[in-house]
Amino acid sequence: MKKHKTEQIIRKLREGEVMAAQGKGIAEVCQALEISAQTYHRWKKRYGQLDRDDIRRFRELEEQNRRLKKLVAEQALDIQILNEVNKGEW
């Protein structure tokens, strides 16, 4: 399973739109983009209406979310360590 970045998804969707405008069917488009039809439709629903500002904001939110998840994980680890110290299990 590939993990595509937002920019790659948007680029592939734009390529798909060009191919569709040239008269190619969804099956041909998906084969050319090397994705399934289900993935294509899911991406189109989620990212199809994004413009450049939306993409930039989406990327910023993803980065902020990554930093917050890391912070929460570090805090959870600190709490676990403190609990073990309090119990005398170290």
Q: What is the pLDDT of residue 90?
A: 58
**CA–CA separation, 47 vs 13, rounded Å?**
8
Which of 78, 62, 42, 54 has its CA nearest to residue 13? 42
Answer whether 0.75 is exceeded by the pTM.
no
Q: What is the pLDDT of residue 56?
A: 82
Query: Over 70: is that where the pLDDT of 89 sits?
Result: no
Condensed to tens digits (0 to 9), the pLDDT of residues 11-29 reads 899 899 999 999 999 999 9
**CA–CA separation, 70 vs 64, rounded Å?**
10
Condensed to tens digits (0 to 9), the pLDDT of residues 41-61 reads 999 998 887 777 887 888 899
